[in-house]
Structure 1
Amino acid sequence: MSARLTDRLVRLINLVPYFITNEGISKTEAAAELGITPAELAKDLTLLWMCGLPGHAGGDLIDLAMEEDTVTVTFSAGIDRPLRLTSTEATVLLMALRALVDQPSSVDPVAASSAIAKIEQAAGIAAGGLEGGAVADADPVLTTVRSAVTAGHALRLRYFSASRDAITDRVVDPIRIRLVEDQSYLQAWCRKVEGVRLFRFDRIEDATELDEPARAHPEATDLAASEALLQGGIFGVEDGLPVARLHLARSVLWVLDYYPMDVLREEPDGSVEVQMRYATTDWMARLILGFGGAATVLDPPELREDVRARARAALDLYT
């Protein structure tokens, strides 16, 4: 939110208690005290008529009566006094704000930290190491990515691809930052694969903001296509890679949180059948062997035979 919109929001919230306290004041005098023009005040008063309690009807909206040059608040919708947080409300709000500071997201950590400091001061809570709204040890990758998203610049990423088990370099046109299931992602158009991909922040090893504008991709910013990407797999694996079909025992289902797998079927005993794209047979075989007998290859045959041969070779070492 820009500083201009923030100033207007603060002013709108204060207008109702202001006119209740200064009953009978003229709009000209009020505009002068508020530091705005009479025309801006008129726009604010018009907007206030559209505000009220969420989920209710028109009768719950703020109501004003204007007689010649004066304004009278006939219904305040509860905004007739400054907001006072209880200790419980302040604690919950602080916890949420601190989580936003720690978790990469579209929220500016500097703004969130500033809000924390102000709430702590107002509520009389001891500061939690964020004096003056400063952010300690800001993640340089997050800072660079957020700057590129805000400025509309392209990014050069050095990224760990889980499906290829390799570090890749690519140039992307950032779209937005998304928070999905407690993980933060950069949603961007990848010029390497010519499609929309989601890049996990904890897998971005380095990010460089380029001195060129991000290219426009109408299909990439389409909301329906964006949600389809999330539903189809947030890992954004590359097309053309071979697909393995696996059976996973219930004891190793935690792997679903770490690798790009699609669940095909759930069995009554809690096990699942999944499919996963992979770059090399060597890497995929090593991954499966790490689960012992809890992971079984169903397809393709060449991967199944490779895993079987490696398992036999390992057993021979014991004899």
Structure 2
Amino acid sequence: MSANSRLSVRLSRLLNMIPYFIANPGIGAAEAAEDLGVSTKQLMSDLNQLWMCGLPGYGPGDLIDLSFSEESIEVTFSAGIDRPLRLTSTEATALLVALRSIVGMPGMVDPTAAYAAIAKIEAAIVGESTVAIVDSAPVEAPAVTTVRAAVSRHRALRLVYYSASRDLVTERVVDPIRIVLVDNNSYLQAWCREAEGVRLFRFDRIEAATELAEPARPPDHAAEDATALDLFQDDPAVPLARLRIQADYGWVLDQYPMNKVAVLPGGDIEATMRFATLDWMARLLLGFGSGVEVLGPPELVAAVRERSQAALAAYEAAGLNGVDQA
């Protein structure tokens, strides 16, 4: 973030702090810092900055006056800054778009709170004086609610999780780090004790979650690992499929974790894809029909061929080979 951006963010925070402290007289520094999304140290620095802000003249009776310590913060003179900043119509519209875009992402926000905020903003835009209670907020899945709460409370979790690449449901204990959005899907980023590494758990594949009594203790380096947000890390221990994709099937590269190797004459694409189980990969490839050809490894080629022949035999046995059996 540039210096100008940092100053702009701080200015907006300072302008909203006075109405916040007027609405919460005597609040402690730690609680206020958490509400405002800053550290206690930064909050105290902001409060000292407010001593030098106020009305022209900048003398006694002009500057903002506060009484504050880490135990209690009170505003004794607001210098007229007693209401939060108002959103412009452009800002309100942008905020509505952002809220609506994330409210459908599991785990990103509390949907009830988000819909309440949407209703308030819409009511303000149209000039209504009251806001109807939001009844249309989607009901959050219990597992999602549990995970979001555990992340907030820094507690360990026991997950029942469906792994699409392995076509397997597993149970594991994890130490949550944060909730992230990757490629329009929301994930829990956590330290997996079983794998002893940082993993991403897609929210719509978490079948059940239980918050444990013990605190989350991910290793110090876990949150700083940039590769932890890579959904498809190139693990040489996992088998690698080599594929030839017809030109009009290029869309599969956007839908599956494939790496393009080369574009062949005629527009066909050679690509690779890691897979955990032979059975799952064979079934996936059969679903593409003739649009994707398996080049290797030999055991995957054999598995796809055997499944294709078995399906064809069953097809012919049922009298569905195009010959009238009557």
Q: TM-score, normalised by structure 2?
A: 0.68
Count matched residues: 273
Is 2:80 the partner of 1:83?
A: no
Is 2:171 the partner of 1:163?
A: no
2:245 corresponding residue in structure 1 = 248
Rounded Cα–Cα distance in structure 1 between residues aligned with 2:210 and 2:273: 30
1:187 to 170, 186, 189: 189
Rounded Cα–Cα distance in structure 1 between residues aligned with 2:296 and 2:240: 8
1:46 corresponding residue in structure 2 = 49
Q: Conserved in 1, the CA contact under 8 Å of 2:157 and 2:212? A: yes
Return the offset for 1:67: 1.8
1:131 corresponding residue in structure 2 = 133
Return the offset for 1:91: 4.0
Rounded Cα–Cα distance in structure 2 between residues aligned with 1:295 and 1:33: 63
Q: Conserved in 2, the CA contact under 8 Å of 1:165 and 1:283? A: yes
Q: Conserved in 2, the CA contact under 8 Å of 1:85 and 1:123? A: no
More deviation, 106-115/145-154: 106-115
Rounded Cα–Cα distance in structure 1 between residues aligned with 2:22 and 2:221: 48
More deviation, 252-261/205-214: 252-261
1:13 corresponding residue in structure 2 = 16
1:3 corresponding residue in structure 2 = none
1:66 corresponding residue in structure 2 = 58
The residue identity in structure 1 corresponding to 2:221 is E
Is 2:294 the partner of 1:294?
A: no
Rounded Cα–Cα distance in structure 2 between residues aligned with 1:172 and 1:269: 48
Change (3 A) 1:34 1:242: closer
2:143 corresponding residue in structure 1 = 141
Q: Conserved in 1, the CA contact under 8 Å of 2:16 and 2:85? A: no
Q: TM-score, normalised by structure 1?
A: 0.69
Change (3 A) 1:307 1:173: same
Change (3 A) 1:134 1:251: same
Q: Conserved in 2, the CA contact under 8 Å of 1:114 and 1:133? A: no
Q: Conserved in 2, the CA contact under 8 Å of 1:105 and 1:179? A: no
Return the offset for 1:216: 2.8
% identical aligned pairs: 46
Rounded Cα–Cα distance in structure 2 between residues aligned with 1:81 and 1:194: 46
Rounded Cα–Cα distance in structure 2 between residues aligned with 1:134 and 1:84: 25
- Compare the two structures and name the one with the higher helix fraction: 1
2:228 corresponding residue in structure 1 = 229
Q: Pairwise mapping of residues 91-110 of structure 1 onto structure 2 (< 5 A)?
A: 91-110=93-112
More deviation, 199-208/103-112: 103-112
Change (3 A) 1:247 1:70: same
What is the CA deviation profile of residues 276-319 of structure 1, one whole-angstrom value per residue up to 9, with x for unaligned ones?
Answer: 23233222222212211111112211211222233344445536
The residue identity in structure 1 corresponding to 2:289 is G
The residue identity in structure 2 corresponding to 1:67 is G
Secondary structure (helix, strand or coil) at the match of 1:240 reads coil
Is 2:275 the partner of 1:278?
A: yes
Return the offset for 1:64: 6.4
Change (3 A) 1:138 1:130: farther
1:199 to 194, 198, 201: 201
1:114 corresponding residue in structure 2 = 116
Structure 2: tracts of 5 or more residues without a match: 1-10, 28-42, 65-82, 322-326
More deviation, 246-255/145-154: 246-255
- For the aligned residue pairs, the C-alpha RMSD in angstroms reads 4.1
Return the offset for 1:267: 4.5
Q: Conserved in 1, the CA contact under 8 Å of 2:160 and 2:209? A: yes
Is 2:307 the partner of 1:310?
A: yes
Change (3 A) 1:136 1:313: closer
Return the offset for 1:34: 9.2
Q: Conserved in 1, the CA contact under 8 Å of 2:176 and 2:189? A: yes
The residue identity in structure 1 corresponding to 2:62 is T
Return the offset for 1:42: 9.9
Q: Conserved in 1, the CA contact under 8 Å of 2:15 and 2:85? A: no
Q: Conserved in 2, the CA contact under 8 Å of 1:159 and 1:167? A: yes
